[in-house]
Structure 1
Amino acid sequence: MAGSSRETPGVVPVTVKQISETSHSGEEKANFVINGVDFTNVTIVGKVSEKAERNTDITFIVDDGTGRIGCKRWVNDTFDTKQMDEIQDGIYVLVIGHLKIFQSNKQIFAFSVRPVTNFDEITFHFIECIHDHLRNSKLQPKGDVSTQFQSSDSSLKPAVQSGSSGYQTASSGLSSEQHTVDVKTNCDELVLDYLPSSVAKERGMHRDELSQQLKIPSEKIVDSIRSLEDEGLIYSTIDEYHFKSAAA
């Protein structure tokens, strides 16, 4: 499996059930494999429960309707503390982090956790999961496509909680023309290529600095940042104006 797998850059949108069905690549870098693709960084969306705080870290459970997974956020400075103060039991969050095995269980070591402020984000996340699954399945040998899809079809059914009535399947009725996650503009690519240069900066890079350095109008930078953040390729740091690359 590992020998024929491909490595995907950036962050992979997944459901908790998909995570539970991943296999280990067996390579030294300890990647996981899904649909024949190696990955380490993931993004999930779900409801928080069992938040527990300690001096060095904060742990919590995320339930996305397909399963539950433990998450850990290291607390190294005041920014980490401030970010996690917003995260409380019962709210929906978007988590970006490294998938690892800890004490025989898969766990996400988060480097970005933020509340979901628009419930369209939940629907969009599950659409991304489906899109990624279908795209990668099509790249598999023909004999494996139907098996891959059937075995993990249930892991791609989105669910959001609606009041006290429990989980309901979220709509995924978007055409392929509407969903263009894997299409980037030249501006997106320039921003994505330039951000790793700020890896040494704890705060990341201000969007105005990106505009100045790349000589691109600020409104185009803002559009690219929004697009790349939605894809999980970059994330905000101390505020909504500073960003770092998820791959840095």
Structure 2
Amino acid sequence: MSAYGGYSKTSYGAQGGDDSGGFFAGGGSQQGSQGGGKSYQDESLRPLTIKQILDAEEPYSGADFKVDGAPITQITFVGQVRSINPQQTNLTIKVDDGTGQIDVKKWIDVDKQSDAEPGFEIDSHIRVWGRLKSFSNKRHVGAHVIRPVTDFNEVNYHMLEATYVHLFYTRGAAGGAHAGGDANGDSMFVDGGDGYNAGALAGQTASKLSGCSNKAKSMYMYLKKSSGDGADGVHLNKLTAELGLGLRDVMEAADELMGQGLIYTTIDEETWAVLEY
């Protein structure tokens, strides 16, 4: 399965500089205005969640961002389109993957009218390739390529790949020694020390949760974190506020988790708690 639509690291590099930089064929080095003449060999393509993007470390202005202590140059992620705002020079698209939301800017070639047409709709899923940018302390992704996701398996595949790479940098290669970093391995989905970490969950729970959507995982881990507060579960309104999800998203996530027998309703039909095993 080719999650990247035919692109591979050996067939593209990055034009440094502004968001309009894109892919180019061939190898060698590419001198750009960003990165001080960064060579092609220094480029990488990192699959990330939006939360990882928002939490990326910026050592100093103009330096490469870092995730899990490793520099990131090109990034790719999958998410759902929440809004499309066409401007004269660019399309600004708000994308949500269940872990957070971020603006994606795709610059328009004035000589190509087709660039002004997004090619996808609100609530559809897209894959984005680009670079993380920061302007006036607000982050966005300057997109090189955006394309619709036609097979929902790609959404699940991307989350698994992002998880694998995250664990590689924080725990080391499979079967190897621990590489340092966050021992919980949980910073890519939700905040705090109770993020989605399959290794910290009971086998039965982890197995059920692994097949759930990302928004369902986020909801479950938030409910689990709140279970020690002695409250009678968490209400729908608080979940939407804390997770940044819409009412429909939370209801869908709740149905998914209840179908797996992971949560249950408590004082009413819109308040849920984790079913402990």
Q: TM-score range by the shorter chain?
A: 0.5 to 0.7
Whether 1:100 and 2:155 are equivalent positions in the alignment is: no
1:16 to 44, 50, 67: 50
Cα root mean square deviation, aligned: 3.1
Unaligned segments of structure 2, at least 5 residues: 1-40, 197-212, 217-247, 258-277
Tell me the residue number matched to 2:214: 159
Q: Is the 8 A contact 1:60 1:72 kept in 2?
A: yes
Change (3 A) 1:25 1:111: same
SS at match of 2:92: strand
**1:1-248 map, 5 Å:** 9-26=43-60, 28=62, 30-77=63-110, 81-82=114-115, 84-139=117-172, 142=178, 144-147=180-183, 149-152=185-188, 154=190, 159=214, 165-167=251-253
What's the offset of the Cα at 1:43? 0.7
What's the offset of the Cα at 1:87? 2.2
Q: Is the 8 A contact 1:8 1:37 kept in 2?
A: no
SS at match of 2:154: helix
CA deviation string 1:16-41 (max 9, x = no partner): 1111221113274x211111100122
What's the offset of the Cα at 1:56? 1.0
Change (3 A) 1:23 1:153: same
Unaligned segments of structure 1, at least 5 residues: 1-6, 170-248
Q: Is the 8 A contact 2:170 2:179 kept in 1?
A: no
What's the offset of the Cα at 1:78? 5.9
Change (3 A) 1:131 1:61: same
What's the offset of the Cα at 1:104? 1.1
Of 74-83 and 53-62, the range deviating more from structure 2:
74-83
Tell me how far apart the structure 2 counterparts of residues 143 and 11 of structure 1 sit (CA, whole Å).
20
Tell me how far apart the structure 2 counterparts of residues 119 and 166 of structure 1 sit (CA, whole Å).
16
Tell me the residue number matched to 2:231: none
Q: Is the 8 A contact 1:8 1:39 kept in 2?
A: no
Change (3 A) 1:102 1:46: same
Change (3 A) 1:8 1:44: farther
The residue type paired with residue 252 of structure 2 is G
More strand by share: 1
Tell me the residue number matched to 1:183: none
Which runs of at least 4 in structure 1 moved beyond 4 Å after TM superposition? 77-80, 139-143, 150-153, 155-158
What's the offset of the Cα at 1:44? 1.1
What's the offset of the Cα at 1:142? 4.8
The normalised TM-score by structure 2 is: 0.50
Of 83-92 and 50-59, the range deviating more from structure 2:
83-92
Change (3 A) 1:132 1:126: same
Tell me the residue number matched to 1:205: none
**Which structure carries more relative contact order (alpha carbon 8 Å, separation 6+)?**
1
SS at match of 2:123: coil
The residue type paired with residue 32 of structure 1 is F
Tell me how far apart the structure 1 counterparts of residues 188 and 124 of structure 2 sit (CA, whole Å).
27
CA deviation string 1:79-125 (max 9, x = no partner): 57358431221111001111010221110000100000000000000
Tell me how far apart the structure 1 counterparts of residues 184 and 61 of structure 2 sit (CA, whole Å).
22
Equivalenced residue count is 161
Tell me how far apart the structure 2 counterparts of residues 90 and 153 of structure 1 sit (CA, whole Å).
20
Change (3 A) 1:129 1:110: same
Tell me how far apart the structure 1 counterparts of residues 54 and 146 of structure 2 sit (CA, whole Å).
21
